[in-house]
Amino acid sequence: MEDQKRFLRMAHSLIIQGRGESVKDKLKVLQKQGTTIDDPVAMANLARRVGMYHFAASMLYPIVRSETSEASEKAKAEYAAALSRIGNYKEAEELFSSISNSIVKDYSSEYVDVLFKSWNNKKASELLELSVEAIEDPYRKVVAMLNLASAYIGNQDFKKAEGLLEELDEISLINNYGLIMANTREMMGQIQFYSQKYGKAHQYFKEAEEMLKNSNSRTWIFAKKWLVIARFALGKPLNETTAEMNEVRTLARQFNHWETLRDCDLYQAIFTKDRDLFQRVYYSTPHEAYRQRALQFWTEEPPADTIVHFGKKTSKDTPLLDLETGMINGKIDFIKPGEMAHKLTVSLFKDFYSPISVYEIFQDCYEGEYFHPETSKDRVYKSIRKLKNIIEPTDYGLEVTNNKAFGYRLRTRKPLKVKYIESGLAVDKSNHHLALIRDHFNTIPFTRKELQNHLKVSDRSANRLITDLVDSGELQKIGSGPKTSYKLVS
């Protein structure tokens, strides 16, 4: 016991001196020997700081997931931090959210990372506001302010973001923080873009791209992406902007920037009014906040179904996989509903852009269970092998691929149509239209024609929307016949 205490004291000093590798070597010996750890929380903290995240999680799992005793908040926070580093974001977020602020403040970096991954910008901004106040180191404070501005933008709190970015721009100029200044200009461009001031947005993105293109920073790709998106919005020649967007996609694949690929498809779909591409982005994106943002820019009528087309040339004869039933073309029992192969297929199709990690797959397929750092991976691997044996010998062109650093994908080597289980797009679009109606008409009665002209939708869509809103109690019908009008229910 005394030896471990001495090692913990010594290891802390070694890490501060930049000699973490020697600490790592000692921890590997303890791990290999299966040594009983006297202070698992302190040792897990040490393991996490030198990058041994799985070892840290393995030490704390029996404590945090004990069925006989309640773990301390410190143990839960340390375990959540380890989970965040190995990619188990959902479980990490659940743990962090259950811990008091007095403990979680020491893990704000890990918690914020988890919140950004789940698009929980509101909670991220609340946590970052506290962090900015507490940080004393000038450069770390600036980085935290930049992250806070990003959270504000994600939460569409543009006024707060703009004030913070103006302050950051001034600080960067005084201290010659070139990278921070470039990122600041890019975020200023995002504010203008989301406010549909595309000319000003283009100017900011151009400045950021010029600052970053000769640097070694990979953040250049983000500025380049936004610059091309702004060119789409400004109606620049389609052949030129499409070629530029494809260049960004190539870089994104090279650097494994999955969200950049998603944005490229989304905004190209929006500004070229490509319904099939928009539908693919919408349904094969698992983040609800991202979907809602997408709907704010999509001005066309909502798709009439939840079918996504994979492959360049689909037709009426292309096989249709129904994710709810697991059937092909409504008659071929491809996979049995409710069985593991069915759950895996749904999980792997939920995100077309980013590989699905082992941790996400486990959460999707083993409901009610917590991920075990030592045994759960093998369960997923075995299930994946069984799925491959079922789907890959068929003629439908489905293939499970594995990027060891990031996770699994379900790819289509042949054209395939996939009917997603969720049918929420039309409902979400109705909610979006309702917000537009409230903003424009407020308490003033309006006719169907006036609503149709304001929303720029067809007769059929306007009639359907009015029927849905009257049935749900959001609209009140006034009069009848040609003089019929409608009013929002306050």
Query: Which domain CATH number covers 460?
Result: 1.10.10.10
Label residue 457 by pLDDT band (50, 70, 90).
low
Residue-averaged pLDDT of the chain: 88
Least confident of 133-147, 340-354, 471-485: 471-485
Burial of 25 (0-12, 13-18, 19+ CB in 10 A): exposed
Residue 147 has pLDDT above 50, yes or no: yes
Same domain as 413, residue 374? yes
Confidence of residue 423 (pLDDT cuts 50, 70, 90): very low
Q: What is the pLDDT of residue 201?
A: 97
The sign of the dihedral angle between the CA atoms of 226, 229, 235, 241 is: positive
Q: Is residue 146 part of a domain?
A: no
For tokens 């100017």, name the residue.
Answer: 203
For residues 447 and 412, the answer to whether their CB atoms sit within 8 Å is: no
Last residue of a domain, one of 375, 400, 419: 419
Residue, of 439 and 117, whose pLDDT is higher: 117
Same domain, 438 and 464: yes
Q: Note down the domain range covering 343.
A: 308-419
User: For position 23, what pLDDT does the model report?
Assistant: 81
pTM to 2 decimals?
Answer: 0.79
The pLDDT score that the predictor gives to residue 424 is 39
Pair 329, 352 in one domain: yes
On the 0-12 / 13-18 / 19+ scale of CB atoms within 10 A, 370 is: middle
Evaluate if residue 21 carries a pLDDT over 90: no
If asked whether residues 399 and 320 sit together in one domain, one would say yes
Of 119-133, 210-224, 293-307, which one has max mean pLDDT?
A: 119-133
457 in a structural domain: yes
Look at residue 16 and tell me whether its pLDDT is greater than 50: yes
**Going by DSSP bridges, is the β-strand pair 320-322/416-419 parallel, antiparallel, or unpaired?**
parallel
Which residues lie closer than 8 Å to 233 by C-beta, 6 or more apart?
Answer: 193, 198, 201, 267, 271
- pLDDT of amino acid 347: 93
Together in a domain, 341 and 412: yes
Which contacts (CB < 8 Å, 24+ apart) does range 54-57 have? 54/82, 54/86, 54/373, 55/27, 55/31, 56/81, 56/82, 57/82, 57/83, 57/86, 57/373
Distance CA 239, CA 249 (A): 15
User: Above pLDDT 70, what percent of the chain?
Assistant: 95
Structure tokens at 182: 């470039």
Predicted confidence (pLDDT) at residue 341 exceeds the cutoff of 50: yes
pLDDT at position 422, please?
64
Q: Is residue 451 part of a domain?
A: yes
Number of structural domains in the chain: 2
pLDDT > 90 fraction of the chain, expressed in percent and rounded: 54
Are the C-beta atoms of residues 209 and 220 closer than 8 Å to each other?
yes
Last residue in a domain, options 397, 419, 441: 419
CB 349 within 8 A of CB 418: yes
Residues 458, 375, single domain; the answer is no
Instruction: Let me know if residue 255 belongs to a domain.
Output: no
Is residue 273 within 8 Å of 105, Cβ to Cβ?
no
Nearest 5 degrees, angle CA 317-CA 318-CA 319?
110
Residue 53 has pLDDT above 80, yes or no: yes
